[in-house]
A = this chain, B = another copy of it.
Amino acid sequence: MFVVKVGGGAGIDVDNVLVDLASQREPFVLLHGGSDETNEVATKLGHPPRFVTSVSGYTSRRTDKETLGIFSMIYAGKRNVEIVSRLQQLGVNALGLAGVDGRLLEGTRKETLKVIEEGKRKLIRDDYTGKVEKVNVALLRLLLENGYVPVITAPILSNDGEAVNADVDRCAAAVAVALEAEELLFLSNVPGLLRDLKDPSSVVSSIPKAKIDQYVGFAKDRFQKKIMGAVEALDHGVERVVFSSANIPTPVRAARSGAGTVIS
């Protein structure tokens, strides 16, 4: 059993991943993003994306109620339907789920966001984000045992029954842990963790799990959350986490046989 997260950034060849997934023999679960298209549609709808930086230095999408609606449109609507129908076309019996469905992914909504804006600390209270804390693994097993391939995305469900934005990389880690998956693959538009962001040939090819702390410094922006996801997964039983490109030939096979950055 392996878990794949394919990103939603600009220039990620999702179809390339789906075609390769359709030829895999082992069971898998797919998670996907949708950030780039969410930004585009939000801008067209007159509600352009904003990002906030927390006091601890992490960047995340500012998700007011209107943004949550747009986020749901793209992640759980357009992208999920596109991926599920394409997999069906490829012979995979895909079934799309947002985290809210059957309480698949639950977490606590952050009541306040502590952010830095123009050098000042600020509290935001109307944000709809949370972090996944609980996976309904019985639902995933029920579907897998009956031949369905779950295709999962955000939003997730808060403890108060509200839909909230959550980082899909960390959702992927939580799903991999819950399913006791051997491998967790993050496929995106970079070939792996780079020593030098400007040099694609500077991929760190392998990192022993125990030494991951030494490499966290290389991770920038959104990659930080992938690393957090990787650490969470490895700490809870996943054997191998791979960061690799979605855009190379047979990207799933490549990642499973050592392309990109392998942490184990």
Contacts of A146 in B (CB 8 A): 139, 142
Please tell me if A204 contacts chain B, counting CB pairs below 8 Å. Answer: no
The answer to whether A81 and B163 touch (CB under 8 A), given A73-B73, A88-B103, A94-B101, is yes
For A46, A77, A84, A93, which residue has the most chain B Cβ atoms within 10 angstroms? A77
CB nearest to A92 among chain B residues: B161
CB nearest to A34 among chain B residues: B77
* Copies held by the complex: 2
The answer to whether A85 and B142 touch (CB under 8 A), given A77-B73, A95-B101, is no
CB nearest to A83 among chain B residues: B100
Please tell me if A157 contacts chain B, counting CB pairs below 8 Å. Answer: yes
CB distance from A15 to the nearest CB of B (A): 13
Contacts of A103 in B (CB 8 A): 88, 93
In the complex, are the beta carbons of A85 and B161 less than 8 A apart?
Answer: yes
Contacts of A84 in B (CB 8 A): 98, 100-101
In the complex, are the beta carbons of B72 and A78 less than 8 A apart?
Answer: yes
Q: Which 6 A-B pairs have the closest CB atoms?
A: A77-B77, A89-B161, A73-B73, A95-B102, A73-B77, A85-B163
Can you spell out 11 A-B residue pairs with CB atoms less than 8 angstroms apart? A41-B73, A72-B78, A85-B155, A88-B100, A89-B162, A94-B101, A95-B139, A96-B97, A96-B100, A96-B101, A97-B101
Chain A contact residues, CB within 8 Å of chain B: 41, 44-46, 69, 72-78, 80-82, 84-86, 88-90, 93-98, 100-103, 139, 142-143, 146, 148, 155, 157, 160-163
